[in-house]
């Protein structure tokens, strides 16, 4: 199965699951002994990032949104945050609002094409 590393790290470390590889370009910090797919000889796999953005309403005051961003950036620099992130294999990647907007739009296009090709339809 393919699963989010942060979800299965505990099970892998306990021996309940055996991780064969990770899909990221580099090994997961929380599972440093698990090779990447590329290291395992599987090339061309496109990984999917899980995006969990910090968001504000579109009409939120820019200064308020900027203050929230500064707070999140400050938290990311704290050792306790980084230690918890590494132990769960979670990586925090800061992005400017424009970068996040572009990422969300590109993912909508990408997955929209997958849905169309597969003929997936909503069920009433």
pLDDT tens sequence across 86-102: 555 555 666 777 888 88
Instruction: Give me the percent of the chain exceeding a pLDDT of 70.
Output: 78
Residue 23 pLDDT > 90, yes or no?
no
Pick from 36, 110, 100: which is nearest to 69 by CA?
A: 100
Number of domains in the chain: 1
Residue 123, in any domain of the structure: no
Whether 18 and 12 have beta carbons less than 8 Å apart is answered as yes
Going by C-beta distance under 8 Å and a sequence separation of 6 or more, which residues neighbour residue 45?
A: 23, 37, 38
Residue 103, in any domain of the structure: yes
User: What residue numbers bound the domain in which 86 lies?
Assistant: 5-118
Instruction: Give me the percent of the chain exceeding a pLDDT of 90.
Output: 14
Check residue 111 and report its DSSP letter: H
Residue 122 pLDDT > 60, yes or no?
yes
Residue 124, in any domain of the structure: no
Residue 50, in any domain of the structure: yes
Residue 73, in any domain of the structure: yes
- Residue 17 confidence class, pLDDT cut points 50, 70, 90: very high
Secondary structure (DSSP) of 20-86: --BSSSS--TT-TTSPBTTTTT---PPP----------TTS-HHHHHHHHHHHHHHHTSHHHHHHHH
Residue 32, in any domain of the structure: yes
Residue 106, in any domain of the structure: yes
């Amino acid at each position: 199965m393919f699963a989010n590393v942060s979800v299965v790290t505990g099970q892998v470390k306990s021996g309940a699951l055996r991780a064969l590889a990770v899909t990221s370009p580099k090994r997961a910090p929380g599972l440093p002994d698990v090779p990447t797919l590329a290291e395992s000889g599987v090339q061309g796999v496109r990984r999917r990032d899980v995006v969990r953005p910090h968001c504000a309403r579109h009409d939120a005051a820019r200064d308020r949104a900027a203050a929230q961003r500064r707070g999140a950036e400050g938290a990311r620099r704290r050792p306790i945050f980084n230690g918890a992130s590494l132990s769960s294999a979670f990586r925090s990647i800061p992005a400017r609002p424009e970068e996040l907007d572009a990422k969300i739009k590109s993912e909508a296009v990408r997955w929209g094409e997958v849905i169309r090709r597969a003929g997936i339809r909503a069920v009433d």
